[in-house]
Amino acid sequence: MKKWEVKALMQSILSCIPYGKKLNRFLQKRITKRLILNDKRFQTKLKQCAEHINLSRKNSLIFKEPFTALELGTGWHPIVPIGLWLCGASHVYSVDIQPLISDNEVQETLKFFARYAENGHLKNLLPFAREEKIKKMKEIINHCKGGIDVSVLGKFDIDIIVGDASNVSIPKNKIDFFVSNCVLEHIEPEALKKIFKRFKKISSQNGIMCHLIDLADHYADFDGSIGVFNFLKFSNEEWTKYNNSFHYHNRLRVSDYRNIYEECGFSVVDEMNRRGNLEDISNLPIAKEFQSYSSDDLLVWRSRIVGTSSKNE
């Protein structure tokens, strides 16, 4: 049994037992260290935030400022919401179906922001950050003498919402900018359509969606003996054995995401794709579910897709 198969088995067991989520979080934090915020992870999130704004500015006739933003998938550390606020967002909603964020993660996040603002690296990584917002952020952090908790995010005009994004309670025509980072691949296709249809309703006249999608086999991050296209050899039935709730991947290809954008009322205006080489799949027995896709489609393992909404449609 390969390393990735052992991981899949362990997570499948954890997903079925009482307190499995808590135990999985403990393992991620204490053993794999995946939940520990470090410079690399912090910088990656800031760069993702900057790239969302940069690509959206380039492809939108109107990039409203100030703008109201929605992040899908808050995760553990609110780096992207604070980054969006620094870059001119008047209000940021961050939605996650799981209540992952806590006082400790907010404290860690703000310590990194304070250090990067002090040494000048923040502006380099987040070039759209406004000086007046950076100054205000420093003031907020300095005034939190009694300790920092999740409630401090309100001072950054950030609302953390725990719940189903397809039923999110936000007024119509409210959101100018939707973003996510490596989240869409973890959502079942029909559920994703419901979320995007809700986004269409709450989108402003010229709303923009920019989502970074990881189309690779995530087990390849854990086991170097397999490639990023390894899961394409499994039928849907075979994949259910490995596709547990802690490590769910919908295996959609980039053309599927384009179709979902369009079906839900967002016109795709740009993509930034990373592709593998034909040799990466030439000896891979592609499952029948993926045989109708072109090689060019199958070889995309990372994509950032920008879409725009028009209320005149």
- Say which residues have a Cβ less than 8 Å from residue 244's Cβ, sequence separation at least 6: 8, 11, 12, 15
Q: Which two tokens stand for residue 64?
A: 């409203």
Mean pLDDT of all residues in the chain?
A: 91
For the purposes of burial, counting CB atoms within 10 Å of the CB of 291, is it exposed (0-12), middle (13-18) or buried (19 or more)? exposed
How many other C-beta atoms can be found within 10 angstroms of the C-beta atom of residue 219? 20
Q: 148 falls in which pLDDT band (50, 70, 90)?
A: confident
Q: 245 falls in which pLDDT band (50, 70, 90)?
A: confident
* pLDDT per position as a tens digit, 63-76: 667 899 999 999 99
What's the order of all strands across the beta sheet hosting 67-72?
Answer: 158-162, 89-96, 67-72, 175-181, 203-214, 300-308, 267-275
Does the pLDDT value for residue 218 go beyond 70?
A: yes
* pLDDT per position as a tens digit, 292-303: 999 999 999 999
- Say which residues have a Cβ less than 8 Å from residue 161's Cβ, sequence separation at least 6: 93, 94, 95, 96, 168
Q: Are 168 and 270 in contact (CB under 8 A)?
A: no
Does the pLDDT value for residue 22 go beyond 80?
A: no
Does the pLDDT value for residue 108 go beyond 90?
A: yes
Higher pLDDT, 134 or 14: 134
Q: 129-164 b/e with 16+ CB inside 10 Å = b?
A: bbeebbeebeebbeeeeeebebebbeebbbebbeee
Does the pLDDT value for residue 289 go beyond 70?
A: yes
Give pLDDT, residue 77.
96
Average pLDDT in the 161-184 region?
A: 95
Provide the angle, in degrees to the nearest 10, between the axes of the packed helices 39-59 and 103-119: 80
Average pLDDT in the 236-241 region?
A: 95
Give pLDDT, residue 220.
93
Average pLDDT in the 247-266 region?
A: 97
- State percent of the chain over pLDDT 70: 92
How many other C-beta atoms can be found within 10 angstroms of the C-beta atom of residue 235? 11
- Say which residues have a Cβ less than 8 Å from residue 18's Cβ, sequence separation at least 6: none
How many other C-beta atoms can be found within 10 angstroms of the C-beta atom of residue 243? 18
Average pLDDT in the 5-30 region?
A: 75
Q: Are 117 and 137 in contact (CB under 8 A)?
A: yes
Q: pTM of the prediction?
A: 0.92
* pLDDT per position as a tens digit, 51-62: 999 988 886 655
Does the pLDDT value for residue 23 go beyond 90?
A: no
Taking CA atoms, 42 is separated from 7, 239, 286, in Å, by: 26, 32, 36
